């Protein structure tokens, strides 16, 4: 029998047939994988709630012909602090969802794995700043994915910008007022928000829980990151599509 062990975080699950589920897991060694958990929807399932989203688990899998099959699951951390609170579930789910979108099946990404694990751990214990944690998670994810935004100077002319700032998704950072016509989709950004964003990149997640950020600035950053992440996910999907077309054509 071809069995293998791995450790991972359950990103999502969906129903398969009468009583099974397909579990999507971000593993530390094999990147994202999909596996079948047989009988998991029966009340007397041997897995219990061990394969629910958020759970950090040690797994033993059987290498199947199409999908692998989970044969054992041991909880390392169920992150019950997230599951027991609706707000934490909302922001934690947004983290799982983004990781599911940007991760590639079978492609190991230990930085992404560590970022998700740390973020869930901090979120499960946080008393406040849930949304700020999500913003910090988003910007850190962009940074480790090679999309670190340029925040110190204008992404186009490289000058230190004046008080009037714009953020350009296309150019990946701030652009000054003079350069702003180069991207008609750029948005106005406040210097305080950009400064806060720089801090969120630098600060460890543990410290973000205690940060005091003005609500207006947080609102601005939330929308900015939502759109920047959306732009990035689109770009990534498109480049993956181009790559698979390229592979198909070169066969």
Is residue 141 involved in binding Zn ion (CB under 5 A)? no
* Binder of Zn ion out of 156, 197, 205, 208 (CB under 5 A): 156
Is residue 157 involved in binding Zn ion (CB under 5 A)? yes
Is residue 189 involved in binding Zn ion (CB under 5 A)? no
CA distances in angstroms from 44 to 40, 50, 173, 233, 244, listed in the order given: 8, 13, 52, 39, 42
CB 151, min distance to Zn ion, A: 13
State the Cα–Cα distance between residues 121 and 115, nearest whole angstrom: 10
What are the tokens at 107?
Answer: 């492609």
* Binder of Zn ion out of 154, 205, 221, 229 (CB under 5 A): 154
- In the complex with Zn ion, the residue whose CB is nearer, 163 or 215, is 163
- In the complex with Zn ion, the residue whose CB is nearer, 55 or 186, is 186
What are the tokens at 49?
Answer: 């709630």
Is residue 25 involved in binding Zn ion (CB under 5 A)? no
Residues 164-183 vs Zn ion: string with x where CB under 5 A? ------------x--x----
* Site residues for Zn ion per CB under 5 A: 154, 156-157, 176, 179
């Amino acid at each position: 029998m071809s069995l293998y062990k791995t450790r991972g975080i359950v990103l999502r699950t969906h129903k398969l047939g009468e009583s099974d589920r397909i579990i999507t897991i971000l593993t530390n060694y094999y990147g994202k994988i999909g596996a079948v958990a047989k009988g998991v929807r029966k009340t007397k399932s041997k897995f219990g709630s061990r394969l629910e989203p958020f759970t950090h688990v040690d797994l033993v899998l059987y290498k199947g012909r199409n999908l692998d099959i989970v044969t054992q699951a041991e909880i390392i951390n169920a992150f019950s602090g997230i599951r027991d609170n609706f707000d934490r579930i909302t922001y934690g789910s947004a983290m799982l969802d983004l990781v599911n979108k940007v991760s590639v099946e079978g492609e190991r990404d230990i930085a992404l794995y560590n970022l998700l694990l740390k973020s869930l751990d901090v979120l499960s214990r946080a008393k406040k700043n849930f949304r700020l944690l999500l913003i910090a998670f988003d910007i850190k994810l962009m940074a480790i994915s090679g999309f670190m935004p340029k925040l110190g100077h204008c992404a186009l002319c490289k000058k230190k910008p004046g008080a009037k700032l714009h953020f350009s998704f296309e150019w990946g950072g701030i652009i000054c007022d003079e350069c702003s016509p180069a991207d008609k989709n750029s948005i106005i950004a406040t210097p305080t928000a950009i400064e806060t964003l720089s801090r969120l990149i630098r600060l460890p997640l543990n410290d973000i829980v205690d940060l005091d950020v003005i609500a207006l600035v947080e609102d601005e950053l939330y929308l900015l990151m939502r759109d920047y992440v959306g732009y990035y996910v689109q770009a990534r999907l498109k480049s993956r599509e181009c790559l698979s077309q390229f592979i198909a054509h070169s066969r």
